[in-house]
Chains A and B, each alone.
Chain A
């Protein structure tokens, strides 16, 4: 019997109660995953309104089909799979299959996925990581990643699914997840390093003097 073995005891309890008729508890079940559902949708459709509509549809669909959740995956992975399907459906509707096929080509493409070398990084400027501009730069860079890389990056590094869960949710093998994740991270590193260099505060010498 594998039913419910992979999910949090608390979550399993909630699901049992919801299915037994305490429907209102679904609000509670879904709350920890609201953010994840939205970001998954956004990673695919790249449009706020579409992502929000899609997130609502995802949650409604999960509510309607909760009885078919068998507990052989985590609830979060099951929900993510619904979100991905919803996103792909919306993407197809909006753009035909155009973007999908461009994305698929990107994987086979032998691109340059080397990181940007940097020589004057010095100490890690933690204060630079606090900057609003850097977060904005990351948002833009993530939005500009080819779809197949963006989706893996979002599931893995934003939503912190593991390699297996990411593979399961996207319907690809774990090896492909690793390759795409590596490329996504290197593309982001390359995009953000110049930004860090130009916006990092001047390095300080002794007694706080600028060098």
Chain B
């Protein structure tokens, strides 16, 4: 089946995730061979999707991990005390 651009756009996300069926995949690839616009959209979307996995894109607050484990440690000590019956009532 011959696809128009709009039809291809509707499936770009699934195409990137490789979750379109074989037939549709073939039709999309056929379209991409001849359509520079859709190829560019696909490439740009794919490239944008490389960014989120880059740890520099979404940084954690400085000291986050340290504070998290300190809090966890406090919690563990508290539950230990409670179990042994020495903790605050």
Binding site for B on A (CB under 8 A): 23-24, 26-27, 30, 34-35, 38-39, 42, 48, 52, 55-56, 59-60, 63-64, 114-119, 121, 124, 126, 129, 132, 134-135, 138-139, 142, 153, 157-158, 160, 163, 178, 181-182, 185-186, 188-189, 192-193, 196
Instruction: Give the docked Cα–Cα distance between A35 and B72 (Å).
Output: 16
Q: How many A-B residue pairs have CB under 8 A?
A: 119
Besides A117-B41, A124-B43, 7 more A-B contacts (Cβ < 8 Å) are A55-B64, A114-B9, A138-B51, A139-B57, A142-B52, A182-B12, A182-B13
- Contact residues of B: prevailing secondary structure: helix
Contacts of A135 in B (CB 8 A): 51, 54, 56-57
Contacts of B57 in A (CB 8 A): 135, 138-139
Instruction: Give the docked Cα–Cα distance between A124 and B47 (Å).
Output: 8
Contact B44 A196 (CB under 8 A): yes
Q: How far is the CB of B81 from chain A (nearest CB, A)?
A: 13
Contact B13 A181 (CB under 8 A): yes
Instruction: Give the docked Cα–Cα distance between A155 and B5 (Å).
Output: 29
Q: Give the size category of B's interface with A.
A: 35 or more
Once A117-B41, A138-B51, A163-B19 are accepted as A-B contacts, the answer to whether A52 and B13 lie under 8 Å apart by CB is no
Contacts of A124 in B (CB 8 A): 43-44, 47
Contact B48 A138 (CB under 8 A): yes
